[in-house]
Amino acid sequence: MTEKKQKINLSITNPKVFEVVKMVISILIALAITLVILFMISDNPVRAIVTILTGPLTKRRYIGSVIESFIPYAFSGLAAGVLFKSGAFNLGGEGIFIISGVSIAAVACNQLTTSGVLHPILCFLAAIVTGGILMIIPSFLKAKFGTNEMVVSLMLNSIYSGVAMFIIRKFLLTTTTSTIGSRDYFKTAKIGYIFEPLRISPCLILLIITTIVMYLIMFKSRLGYQIRLAGTNPKFAEYSGISAFKLSIVTAVIAGILCGMGASCQLLTQTSFYLPEQSLVGIGFSGMLLSMLGRNNPIGIVVAAFLIKYLEQGTSILYFVDRAVPSEIVAIVEGIVILLISSQYFLRGFREKKLLKEGLEKDAK
């Protein structure tokens, strides 16, 4: 059996090929269902679907907006992916995003440095440290006191958004408008564009590097191996000499750092002030969906984030031409795709029939 060079099996019986085929077919089905819905609500369904699918490409500004807005979501997805892979049901990304926003605002609203390079970096560091430390809490409490990390993390989400409100009101409140938000950042804190027309900022480069690093960590490194073991059977990990406690802290820190990066990208490129009730809400939770869509694979997650943001952009463009189509239609696509790719049964019968034939043929030899 050693050194048996196998021809690469491109048929659906190869699990990896099957996974991809399943993904593509899921997306197609979701789009088909969307089309059916469009037929019901829109006078011009074909135009509608064409607009959704190609709209973002029609103007530089549109695709630029996709590129800019998907970045924080991708970071959030990466964070959720690490946590889920390690077997932690920590849903704290949402709160971590919001609370690291406060750190960012605090640094960005103070002229700590006059360097336009150093200032954003300081903001990043503040967010990363905040995220990395606070994300530990649910894992720590679970390891030490056996509390349920899902409950704790959800509770912390509420607490953090309250705390964020408090700090902003008390220390950083804007005086120019009546909304509850931070003052405008100093100009030096803003992240500029490298290529303005497509809104490409250093954040995109950071995301690409981070994705590659996360991929290497998950699939090539010893840490990734430990995460896989502990995520599938914690008792086995312990038996093998892997400290579950240490590992849960390390993964939480990584996830926290990723959230901090995501929050920084969101706040330092898209806005010049921080509104705790708006600026970052929902990104943490979306990350969990993305990690499901991307099957906890860093590259899959980032691609999923891009596609979802692309579709959202498409529907919002459609809204200008066809008011009958609500932008929530994206949520339908998202929901159907997740349902289909996470279903064990979808396409299984088809694959098994092929397997039966192949298996019997091989066996007969």
Partner 1 sequence: MGETILKLDKVTKVYPNGTVANRDINMEFEKGEIHSIVGENGAGKSTLMKMIFGIESPSSGTITYKGEEVHFASSLDAIKAGIGMVHQHFMLIPSFSVVDNIILGDEPKNGIFLDRREAVRKTQEVSDRYNFELDVTEKVSALSVAKKQKVEILKTLYRDAELIILDEPTSVLTPQETEKLFEQLRSFKKQGHTILFISHKLEEVKQISDRISVIRNGVSKGTYRNDELTMEQLTNLIIGRDLESDIDRYKTHEDFHNEKAAVIEDLCLERNGKPVLDHVSLAVKKGEILGIAGVEGNGQLDLVRCITGLEKTKYEGKIMICDTDTSGMNIKGRRDLGMAYIPEDRMGDGIAGPLPISDNMISTYYTRDDINTKLFMDNRAIDRISNELIDTFAVKTESNKTSVDSLSGGNIQKVVVAREYNTRPKFMIAEQPTHGIDIGSAEFVHHKLIELRNSGVGILLVSADLNEVMDLSDRIIVMFDGQIAGYFKNARNVTDQELGMFMLGASHQTPEEIGGALND
The residues of the shown chain that bind partner 1, judged by CB under 8 A, are 1-3, 6, 13, 15, 216, 220-222, 225, 228-229, 232-233, 235-243, 348, 351-352, 355-356, 358-360, 362-363
Cβ atoms of 35 and 173 closer than 8 Å: no
Minimum CB distance to partner 1, residue 28 (Å): 23
- CA-CA distance, 25 to 188, in Å (whole number)? 47
User: At which residue do the structure tokens 């159907």 appear?
Assistant: 336
Cβ nearer to partner 1, comparing 164 with 247: 247
Q: How far is the CB of 15 from partner 1 (least distance, A)?
A: 8
Taking the complex as a whole, how short is the minimal distance between the CB of residue 214 and partner 1, in angstroms? 14
Of 2 and 176, CB closest to partner 1: 2
- Our measurement of the distance from residue 228's CA atom to the centroid of its chain's CA atoms, rounded to an integer in Å, reads 20
> Nearest-CA neighbor of 81 among 331, 308, 305, 241?
305
Query: Nearest approach, Cβ of 207 to partner 1 (angstroms)?
Result: 22
Q: How far apart are CA 142 and CA 148, in angstroms?
A: 6
Q: How far is the CB of 141 from partner 1 (least distance, A)?
A: 19
Nearer to partner 1 among residue 170 and residue 365 (C-beta)? 365
Could you tell me the smallest distance in angstroms from the CB atom of residue 169 to partner 1? Answer: 45
Measured from the CB atom, the residue of 6 and 178 that comes closer to partner 1 is 6
Comparison of 61 and 220: residue with beta carbon closer to partner 1:
220
| Sole residue written with tokens 């459609």 | 318
DSSP string, 147-205: --HHHHHHHHHHHHHHHHHHHIIIIIB-SSSSSS-BPPPPGGGS---SBGGGTB-HHHH
Q: State how far the alpha carbon of 5 is from the alpha carbons of 8, 13, 63, 68, in Å.
A: 9, 17, 44, 44
Q: Could you tell me if 16 and 277 are in contact, meaning their C-beta atoms sit under 8 angstroms apart?
A: no
In the bound state with partner 1, the residue whose beta carbon lies nearer, of 40 and 364, is 364
Q: Which is nearer to partner 1, 18 or 140 (CB)?
A: 18
**Sheet strands (E) in the chain:** none
Q: What is the DSSP string of 274-298?
A: --TTTTTTTHHHHHHHHHHHTTT-H
Least separation in angstroms between CB 145 and partner 1:
15
